[in-house]
Amino acid sequence: MPELRICIVGCGRAGMIHARHFHSVVPGAGVVALADPVPETLAAAAREMPAAAAFADYRQAIAAKGVDAVVIATPTVFHKDIVLAAAAAGKHVFCEKPMALNVPDCEAMIRAADAAGIVFQIGFMRRFDAGFQRARELLDSGDLGRVMIIKSTGRGPGGPGPWMWDLAKSNGIIAEVNSHDIDSLLWMTGSRPTRVYAEAHNFKMTEARTQFPDFYDNVVATFRFENDAIGVVDGTCPAGYGYDARMEILCEKGVIFIGSAKQHGVELITIEGEVRGRAVPSWRTLFRDAYLAEARDFVECAATGRAPRVTSRDGLLAVAGVVAVNESIRTGQPVTL
């Protein structure tokens, strides 16, 4: 019997990445319940993990016998209610990003988790990636001086699906794709933004324009931080050419580059001068080890009571950035935080 018995709520792509880790890879954990309202999705997950109880209603899954913790990988609009239900039942929570649709919802989730005394971790897996961690160590050393300009690129290869077109229910790609980039800026600068200005446009998703004229598939946002650092996030979905997650950190005494669009960082230049390489196909490929590391961290936190590396407060700050970006796009003006 695993020490931490987990219920997976949301059995799509991201949910099953977590499920497989807790089911067969991470020591001290196991999946005992699955929940998804889509019958086909739930049935596929149940075939892969037949020992886990399967439920269409997440409330029944959370209440199932023996459940210790809940992993949430549903569309963002459902996060708040599921977290509140899990906290009321005294279950530890791992919640995929973005944490919620707005700051008041984040605050309600934090209050519920704090009152229940549970572990509440947010799924910003870049904080567990070796390259990003090394960059943070270099900044912490002080050898490079202050961060002056920090740029983060996040481009998804495919989609976005129709469920993301309604910004009222998803906050768009700045949330679903680029909240990772906003969190990375917060983490690397060690500061909070004071002002945000953003521009966005729908270049590719023609099918979304009529019903959702405010939807965008490209966005650039500029952040001014309390410590005077200037941050830039650029996001695209769909990019088409592959999954592209990169960061550049310009400091007083040097510059740090993290990531590459090239798979394994390999590039071939032939004698004829032709440059060849292969793009990273998916976020699942690029951050495979980071996803596993954050799963291990969640199990360790639940076992020891240690605070997770990525807290609910980190999730709230990223959501605040997302909301400010969308407000700037809507008004055409800088937004003060």
Percent of the chain with pLDDT over 90: 86
Q: Do 219 and 71 share a structural domain?
A: no
Contact at 8 Å (CB) between 191 and 105?
Answer: no
Q: Do 167 and 121 share a structural domain?
A: no
Q: Look over the chain and give the mean of its residue pLDDT values, rounded to a whole number.
A: 93
Predicted local confidence at residue 161, as pLDDT:
87
**The token pair that represents 140 in the structure block:** 């912490």
Q: Do 110 and 74 share a structural domain?
A: yes
Q: Do 279 and 293 share a structural domain?
A: no
Q: Do 120 and 134 share a structural domain?
A: no
Question: Which domain covers residue 212, as residue numbers?
Answer: 130-286+318-336
pLDDT at 277 over 80: no
Q: Do 282 and 293 share a structural domain?
A: no
Q: How far is CA 111 from the centre of its chain?
A: 21
Domain total in the chain: 2
- Reference 183, options 131, 123, 226, 105; nearest CA is 123
Chain position carrying tokens 């991470």:
26
262-273 average pLDDT score: 60
Q: Do 79 and 104 share a structural domain?
A: yes
What's the pLDDT tens digit per position in 137-152? 999 999 999 999 999 9
241-258 average pLDDT score: 92
Q: Do 216 and 282 share a structural domain?
A: yes
CATH number of the domain residue 296 falls in: 3.40.50.720
Measured CA to CA, the distance from residue 86 to residue 68 in angstroms comes to: 10
Q: Do 200 and 122 share a structural domain?
A: no
Q: Do 192 and 323 share a structural domain?
A: yes
What's the pLDDT tens digit per position in 301-332? 999 999 999 999 999 999 999 999 999 999 99
121-144 average pLDDT score: 94
Predicted local confidence at residue 287, as pLDDT:
87
Q: Do 261 and 135 share a structural domain?
A: yes
**Poorest-confidence range of 66-70, 96-100, 149-153, 276-280?**
276-280
pLDDT band of 283, cuts 50, 70, 90: low
Q: Do 157 and 232 share a structural domain?
A: yes
**Poorest-confidence range of 165-169, 220-224, 284-288?**
284-288
Contact at 8 Å (CB) between 285 and 263?
Answer: yes
DSSP code, position 195: E
Compute how many other C-beta atoms are within 10 angstroms of the C-beta atom of residue 209. Answer: 12
Compute how many other C-beta atoms are within 10 angstroms of the C-beta atom of residue 57. Answer: 11
DSSP code, position 265: E
pLDDT at 263 over 70: no
CATH number of the domain residue 215 falls in: 3.30.360.10
Chain position carrying tokens 């599921």:
82
Measured CA to CA, the distance from residue 119 to residue 114 in angstroms comes to: 9
